[in-house]
């Protein structure tokens, strides 16, 4: 008996997908091959433009080939290099996702290029601003998510609150849930909470196509959800000027144990800490590396091709919902 891997929502109808799953634009992890794999399997792949590296972006759009993919940027960083948006728009992306900052300065250019404007938000106030900027799709990200975000809200309460706000004020806008979704149960829950689909990061981080060293992926498979932490220590050591409200969720290790809660000491010890961090990067040392995953890593136990993940998640959700 063949398994039905299609699931129809407002998102799939609007974008011509067969699965309401969008690959999170994980900085330097969601490359063109991963994005294309998700798109070919019926979802939407977003390349992780992140802080913005022109050559990497061009290379990864090339790796996506003819697949219909989009791209995501860290908004405050894009504001420093707005030319990178043109690089992405030159590749006719399906959508551009903006996270962590004011989307308004970029939204018109994205729409004028024929791409959807996706805005990742972390609060009701963020959602109102994104709607005012004309977002086509909101991503409501809870604090359990991997990567940057805020600790203020969880997916379980944020998604239905934003779903109601959208229904009341901008009913044509679509909503994705993000944070903690790795399987069909999570996708079904997201739809039940009022979302039109899910944006998934951590589960695809542990896919065969993700641009993550295999040894690091295997290391993370040992972790439970208790082993992640929200912290700024890696932003401090990289001297990355994140606005104060955002922290990153990542795996605890010797580096976070040493510096989390002792941030002012880290600032004082920066040259030595930066040397240790560079060594960790060169040696793929999980004790000191920034391994970015969300709480849901606790239930990821294998490295799987993205298409297989997408089909399993979608068919499980379909089964649960029907």
Ligand X SMILES: Cc1cc2nc3c(=O)[nH]c(=O)nc-3n(C[C@H](O)[C@H](O)[C@H](O)COP(=O)(O)O)c2cc1C
E-only strand ranges, 66-192? 70-74, 95-99, 116-121, 137-141, 147-149, 174-178
> Which lies closer to ligand X via its Cβ, residue 249 or residue 318?
249
**C-beta of 42 vs 72, nearer to ligand X:** 72
For the chain, the first-to-last Cα distance in angstroms comes to 17
Nearer to ligand X, 199 or 313 (CB): 199
**Cβ 293 to ligand X, closest distance in Å?**
6
Residue nearest to ligand X (CB): 201
Pairing of strands 228-231, 197-200: unpaired
| Binding segment toward ligand X, per CB under 6 A, in 129-137, 194-202, 262-270, 273-281 | 194-202
Minimum distance from CB of 199 to ligand X (Å)?
6
Does 52 engage in binding with ligand X (CB under 6 A)? no
Q: Which residue's CB is nearer to ligand X, number 55 or number 168?
A: 55
Helices vs. strands in the chain: H and E counts, helices first: 16, 11
Quick one: which of 20, 42, 143, 147 contacts ligand X (CB under 6 A)?
147
Tallying the residues shown for the chain, one arrives at: 322
Sheet containing 147-149, strands listed edge to edge, beginning at the edge strand earlier in sequence = 147-149, 247-251, 228-231
**Residue 286 lies near ligand X (rule: CB under 6 A):** no
Total number of residues that touch ligand X (CB under 6 A)? 28
> Cβ 35 to ligand X, closest distance in Å?
13
CA-atom Rg of the chain in angstroms: 19
One residue of 5, 9, 11, 27 binding ligand X per CB under 6 A = 27
Give the Cα separation of 223 and 109 in Å (integer). Answer: 42
- Residues 227-266 binding ligand X (CB under 6 A) are none
Beta-sheet strands, E only, within 205-258? 228-231, 247-251
For residue 237, give the nearest of 264, 265, 267, 281 by alpha carbon: 267
Looking at 52, 180, 184, 197, which residue binds ligand X (CB under 6 A)? 180
Give the span between the Cα atoms of 144 and 301, in whole angstroms: 18
- What is the closest distance, in whole angstroms, from the C-beta atom of residue 74 to ligand X in the complex? 5
Q: Does 75 bind ligand X (CB under 6 A)?
A: no
- Interface with ligand X by CB under 6 A: which residues? 24-27, 29, 48, 50, 72, 74, 99, 120, 141, 145-147, 178-181, 199-202, 205, 292-294, 296
């Amino acid at each position: 008996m063949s398994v039905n891997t299609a699931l129809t929502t407002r998102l799939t109808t609007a974008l011509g997908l067969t699965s309401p799953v969008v690959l999170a634009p994980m900085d330097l992890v969601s490359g063109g091959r991963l994005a294309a794999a998700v798109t070919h399997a019926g979802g939407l792949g977003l390349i992780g433009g992140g802080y913005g590296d022109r050559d990497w972006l061009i290379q990864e759009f090339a790796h996506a080939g003819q697949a219909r993919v989009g791209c995501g940027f860290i908004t405050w960083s894009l504001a420093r290099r707005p030319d990178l948006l043109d690089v992405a728009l030159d590749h006719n992306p399906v959508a551009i996702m903006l996270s962590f900052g004011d989307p308004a300065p970029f939204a018109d250019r994205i729409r004028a290029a024929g791409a959807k404007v996706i805005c990742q938000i972390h609060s009701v106030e963020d959602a109102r601003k994104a709607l005012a900027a004309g977002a086509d799709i909101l991503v409501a990200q809870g604090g359990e998510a991997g990567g940057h975000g805020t600790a203020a809200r969880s997916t379980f309460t944020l998604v239905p609150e934003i779903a109601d706000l959208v229904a009341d004020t901008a009913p044509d806008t679509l909503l994705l849930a993000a944070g903690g979704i790795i399987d069909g149960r999570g996708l079904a829950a997201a739809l039940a909470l009022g979302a039109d689909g899910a944006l998934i990061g951590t589960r695809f981080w542990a896919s065969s196509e993700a641009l993550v060293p295999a040894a690091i992926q295997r290391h993370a498979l040992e972790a439970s959800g208790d082993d992640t932490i929200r912290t700024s220590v890696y932003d401090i050591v990289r001297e990355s000027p994140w606005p104060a409200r955002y922290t990153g969720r990542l795996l605890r290790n010797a580096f976070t144990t040493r510096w989390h809660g002792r941030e002012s000491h880290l600032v004082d010890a920066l040259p030595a800490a930066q040397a240790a961090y560079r060594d960790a990067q060169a040696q793929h040392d999980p004790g000191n590396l920034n391994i970015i995953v969300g709480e849901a890593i606790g239930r990821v136990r294998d490295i799987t091709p993205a298409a297989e993940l997408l089909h399993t998640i979608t068919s499980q959700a379909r089964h649960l919902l029907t």
